[in-house]
Amino acid sequence: MAGSGSGGSRADNGYGSQQPRRRKGPGALATAYLVIYNVVMTAGWLVIAVGLVRAYLAKGSYHSLYYSIEKPLKFFQTGALLEILHCAFGIVPSSVVLTAFQVMSRVFLTWAVTHSVKEVQTEDSVLLFVVAWTITEIIRYSFYTFSLLNHLPYLIKWARYTLFIVLYPMGVSGELLTIYAALPFVRQSGLYSISLPNKYNFSFDYYTFLILVMISYIPIFPQLYFHMLHQRRKVLSHTEEHKKSE
């Protein structure tokens, strides 16, 4: 669903939100590691962006571009799982639970939907969320990199807290349309589903589960979106100083 927070921020959903906190931050070694991590992730998503552009120019159409960036997308999106550990070890002051939720929802969409249901890989909705994620992540990881180095250009800050206005709904639309497209194939193949009777006395219907996931977007998306609009007003009206927000 949404992105995750790393390099210092609470309630960050990856489409742009709170600023890093100036508390007693990570030590020198942790900071160095985080800078490297964020630089690598920025580079990774740039690779994906370049891959998309090149494939588009080569093919002449924007259909089925997923295949040209499939591997780096899987690699770098899955790599974001490290951000959960960053929070768990306290080198990033975000909530472990929130970060885990955000990263897992992205990883879920990447592996349990797009990778698992091959038939949706040619859908245009996949391109929709991949583009949204790519732009968001490039900005987000460079934001963290610059913040850690205490040299944040206003443009990056502005981009992070403004572009989400378009990117977030774009990404959510792409995600929902992709899940919706996957439904008939899941029903047909019985993917990840188990039915009674069996000796573990358990049943799971992946089709119903996906529908519940889609429904969960209804309460969650508006909350995160309006939270970010609120954050935007706060952050961009204090260009001189970073104020502690609570």
User: Which residues here bind other proteins, judged by CB under 8 A?
Assistant: 196-203
Q: Cβ 49 to other proteins, closest distance in Å? A: 40
Reply yes or no on whether 123 is catalytic.
Answer: no
Cβ proximity to other proteins, 155 vs 196, nearer residue? 196
Q: Cβ 198 to other proteins, closest distance in Å? A: 7
Q: Tell the burial category of 150 from Cβ atoms under 10 Å away from its Cβ (0-12, 13-18, 19+).
A: exposed
Q: Cβ 201 to other proteins, closest distance in Å? A: 4
Reply yes or no on whether 168 is catalytic.
Answer: yes
Contacts of 233 (CB under 8 A, 6+ apart): none
User: DSSP readout, 180-245?
Assistant: HHHHHHHHHHTTT-B-SS-TT---B-HHHHHHHHHHHHHHHHHHHHHHHHHHHHHHHT-SSSPPPP
The alpha carbon dihedral of 134, 140, 146, 152 has a sign of positive
Cβ proximity to other proteins, 154 vs 200, nearer residue? 200
Residue labelled with tokens 């990056």: 156
Cβ proximity to other proteins, 35 vs 211, nearer residue? 211
Cβ proximity to other proteins, 53 vs 194, nearer residue? 194
Quote helix, strand, coil % in the chain, to nearest 5: 70, 0, 30
Q: Cβ 246 to other proteins, closest distance in Å? A: 10
Q: How many distinct helices (H) and strands (E) make up the chain? A: 8, 0
Q: Which of 175, 206, 207, 225 is catalytic?
A: 175
Q: Which of 37, 144, 161, 168 is catalytic?
A: 168
**Residues labelled as active-site residues:** 168, 175
